[in-house]
Structure 1
Amino acid sequence: MQTKTDTAKSPSPNHNVPTRFYTTGDFVDLISALREFDPGAASHTLVGLLRMASENTATPVEQTALRIAGLGDIQSKNFVLTDAAKDLLYDFSTGDYSGNVRPGRYRENVAAKEEEAEETDYLKSDAPEPVARLNIGGTNYVIGELAALDMLAFRLESGGEWHHLSNTVEDGWSSIAAEIIAATRDTTREYIRMHMIHRRNVNVGDNIRLFDLYGFEWFIRIDDQGCFTRVEGRNWEPVNIDGLDIEEDLGKIAVNAIMVAVPDAREYFKDDVDQWARRIAAGAMVMPAFNM
């Protein structure tokens, strides 16, 4: 999809806007930049359609807007554009684009930022109907339904904002509970803290401590120069322990250390963390939401 800024006439000598072509991805970037000046620069429907055309993805609030407009649907748990949306993109384009695409200036992480800032727009205007109370580890959550969209949302029973859920009742309450756990807790840090072992009886050198997580080992060195960590085969890296007591907060220091020593720790331990979260979720208790 392409648009030309001026196809009717050449720009006047004093015209300082260059004649250029824009891809759909360019427009997503442009709208994201405009929203820094005007938060209402474009509708979620428009941005979602452009984002789907350029990146084949859209934020949950954009997906909701597209579904309301009849331009999006859920198929096999995946969000897709309807034929009507595809026809719009085809009919109002000038043909296939084979030129060079400019690297996205605002595209990186913009979807996550907009999702965080906008996810409750529709939930505020059309509050979900409470259908269940879900207890996870002693904390009660209200599960609400947006029946027209076949979507669920959750919030704390004590109050607060609603948040979208990607799982449905058909996926099972354990899946819903696992999604809530992942959304409300730092599951990677909790998993590491709960399962790691301090190998106190292993002599690894002066001022050095060894920690083990099911065979994955990392070292912590605390001396006059500060706190440092490393894994086998790598150099020592500094760890910020400001405000932490070396003895009382050693567990927190160890978790901070592995997150430094293994920058992709969240991805590295993802499968184990997900399985652990599902085990916790399996113990969740669901009750009907009466008088809420």
Structure 2
Amino acid sequence: MAVAHLYGFHPVQAEAPRAPRLSVEPDDFAAVAELAKSISGCSRAFIRLADPDSGQMRLSFFPPLPDVTELPKALLPDGQGVSRMAGPSLQEEMRAAGLPPLAFWGCFTLRSVEGRILGELGVMDEAQHDLPDTVMAQLAQLAEILSRGVGMAAGTVRVMARQTLGLMEDLGEIDGDAASPAVMGLLRYAAGRVPTSSEAMAMRIAGLAEVQGGLLLLTPTANGMLYNRGFRLADAPAVEVPEGEMPVVDAGTFEPVARLRIGEVHHDIARNDVTEQFAFRFTGTDDAWTVLEKGLQDGWPEMTAEVIAKTRNATFDYVRMHMIHKRDASTVPGEFVYDLYGLEWTVRGTPAHAEARGEDGVWRVFDAGHIAPDAPRDFSAQAAFAAIPDLAARIGSDVHEWSKRIAAGSEVTPIFG
């Protein structure tokens, strides 16, 4: 077997993997891989890129080897930068990784201008090759060119952000509602600029930013969104919030910051800047604020789910919507069987005198006097709580997730001024 040439290769140690999507993928540089094949005369090339923050690798072969997701350790270089392709263990590892039996392997490290390892460019073949120094020099130069291309990707993404921001600003002059302030503020961050006061407030309401010590900071959610699209803002500068954005209020005072619409029902959402708690009440009323346990750190779906739970009988509504009448069940006349994802109960009687039976076989009387005679589904849903005394606890997590799905269709609008 031939000696594999591996130049300057050093494995990248992963630190705190976050599994982000790279801003560039190996397939973006397919033309470079084809050129490497042409220069070397090898039948296949590969590009392997490392995310600088997580160490996660992306590997692509040209032509593709879809079943190969990582290179065998035996192909990695020793301390002298050379891997001798011999021995039974190598053949076993190559077969296990899905690689064909190779006779030649050449690998060139991709480095940034600062010397940081970006990945590798390589060529391989099942036939032996003895490439002259001039060809190896051309491949090394091609690896340098690819390194510059990968390094320029982050700058290209930021330029695109600025162009998109400029386009949205132009649209805003024609139609003031063309883009939400939260989106504009996040784009300014991505473009390396400072959000306006209204954009900063909208970002806070949307859970994209928070105020700490008078400074506007991106939340982990916002940082993650930008990170996954190629923006490296781990050290994003804090933005000083104008005084008008942080009024001094007494403890217990809530100031409206947003309007929440759930279906046709509207709620005002308020925040106490001292306790950092949120509260809600029906829009257009002077009712007392109902304090929420959830906050922006939990996300709007969780906050909305809590509003739903505190303004309606979500558990009853869930049972009523999801229960199934088992019409083919064998029962005595006047008894009706229902099922809720494996939880079964039987109901009989009328709202004036109602009974329900669960899996324990015990008939229990329950109060249904508030249910109209022409609402049999409400009557049967109420029976479930009598027949299964711990029903609310048993389906609590399902009800919460259902409330979050309802919350996903809600609408949050910032309130300014």
Between the aligned partners of 2:355 and 2:252, the Cα distance in structure 1 is 50
Is the aligned partner of 1:186 residue 2:186? no
Between the aligned partners of 2:281 and 2:348, the Cα distance in structure 1 is 42
Determine the structure 1 residue equivalent to 2:326. Answer: 199
1:157-208 alpha-carbon deviations (Å, 9 max, x no partner): 1211111112222221111101111111111101001111112232311211
The 1:157–1:243 alpha-carbon spacing in structure 2 relative to 1, beyond 3 Å, is: closer
Tell me the secondary structure at the aligned position of residue 274 of structure 2. helix
Is the aligned partner of 1:213 residue 2:337? no
Which structure would you say has the larger RCO, counting Cα contacts within 8 Å and 6 or more residues apart? 1
The 1:243–1:283 alpha-carbon spacing in structure 2 relative to 1, beyond 3 Å, is: closer
Shift of 1:243: 5.2
**Matched residues, percent identical?**
34
1:7-40 alpha-carbon deviations (Å, 9 max, x no partner): xxxxxxxxxxxxxxxxxxxxxxxxxxxxxxxxxx
Is the aligned partner of 1:249 residue 2:357? no
1:50-109 alpha-carbon deviations (Å, 9 max, x no partner): xxxxxxxxxxxxxxxxxxxxxxxxxxxxxxxxxxxxxxxxxxxxxxxxxxxxxxxxxxxx
Is the aligned partner of 1:276 residue 2:411? no
Determine the structure 1 residue equivalent to 2:357. Answer: 230
1:206-230 alpha-carbon deviations (Å, 9 max, x no partner): 211111112211001228x942110
Determine the structure 1 residue equivalent to 2:266. Answer: 140
Q: Which runs of 5+ in 2 are unaligned?
A: 1-248
The 1:167–1:227 alpha-carbon spacing in structure 2 relative to 1, beyond 3 Å, is: closer
Between the aligned partners of 1:127 and 1:200, the Cα distance in structure 2 is 55
Between the aligned partners of 1:213 and 1:243, the Cα distance in structure 2 is 23
Larger radius of gyration: 2
Between the aligned partners of 2:323 and 2:387, the Cα distance in structure 1 is 15
- 1:19-98 alignment, distance < 5 Å: none
Is the aligned partner of 1:168 residue 2:284? no
Between the aligned partners of 1:270 and 1:221, the Cα distance in structure 2 is 26
RMSD: 2.4
1:120-167 alpha-carbon deviations (Å, 9 max, x no partner): xxx998431111111112211111111122111111112111111122
Equivalent AA in structure 2 for residue 138 of structure 1 = E
Between the aligned partners of 1:259 and 1:272, the Cα distance in structure 2 is 16
The 1:268–1:290 alpha-carbon spacing in structure 2 relative to 1, beyond 3 Å, is: same
Q: Do 2:294 and 2:306's aligned partners in 1 also have CA atoms closer than 8 Å?
A: yes
| TM value normalised by structure 1 | 0.53
Q: Which runs of 5+ in 1 are unaligned?
A: 1-122
Equivalent AA in structure 1 for residue 280 of structure 2 = F
| TM value normalised by structure 2 | 0.38
The 1:153–1:242 alpha-carbon spacing in structure 2 relative to 1, beyond 3 Å, is: closer
For residue 384 of structure 2, the aligned residue among 255, 258, 273 is 258
Equivalent AA in structure 2 for residue 204 of structure 1 = T
The 1:245–1:179 alpha-carbon spacing in structure 2 relative to 1, beyond 3 Å, is: closer
Name the count of aligned residue pairs: 168
